Amino acid sequence: MPTESFYGLAVSVRDEKAILRLLALKRRPEKNPILILIPSAEALRDYVASVPPVAARLMERFWPGGLTLVFKATEGISRFLTAGTGKIGVRLSSHPVPTDLAKAAGTAVTGTSANLSGQPPCRSSREVMAALGNDVDLILDGGETPGGRGSTVLDVTSDPPELVREGMIAMEELRPHLTPSS
């Protein structure tokens, strides 16, 4: 499915068999966590143990969009998504396809890039077919995506939050929202 940057692989976060199939398809090590895309900001509480005030400020400003926030996961979130860390990366996508897919599924879906681990991400359905072939069940062709950088990943379980990966949203844009305004 297309996202705001690249194509992603979506499976239900409630289906461990599908998550394991996704890891095998990508040849992704189990030590690498997989982010999830939620159907709405209100659904966040189904997947995270708590929402720190800094996360609420960041969500208000940057969601939906290219910011993945890492939270403490609720009980029941697959260890294959958290890579055994107890933390889960969550994003509310600004692209309508993953958001509508999660709404239709009634649950969050994975949002990992549609490629083999370590290979360049795909910007079109044609590239997904070339990279993954018939191993995917369905490609939602939304045309070519913009590419560029993936989502910015910020861990809000620490104080101050820790930048995991700088992506489409620069740290300079995030910084004013990391501390309460006086």
pLDDT score for 30: 87
Domain edges within the chain: 8-177
Q: Which residues of the chain have pLDDT under 50?
A: 182
Provide the 10 A C-beta neighbour count for residue 71.
21
Q: Which of 41, 47, 89 is nearest to 63 (CA)?
A: 41
pLDDT score for 180: 81
Structural contact between residues 156 and 70, judged by C-beta atoms closer than 8 angstroms: yes
Which one of 3.90.870.10, 1.20.120.1200, 3.30.565.10, 1.25.40.10 gives the CATH number of domain 8-177?
A: 3.90.870.10
Task: Specify the 3-state DSSP secondary structure of 73.
Answer: strand
**Pair type for strands 109-110 and 36-37:** antiparallel
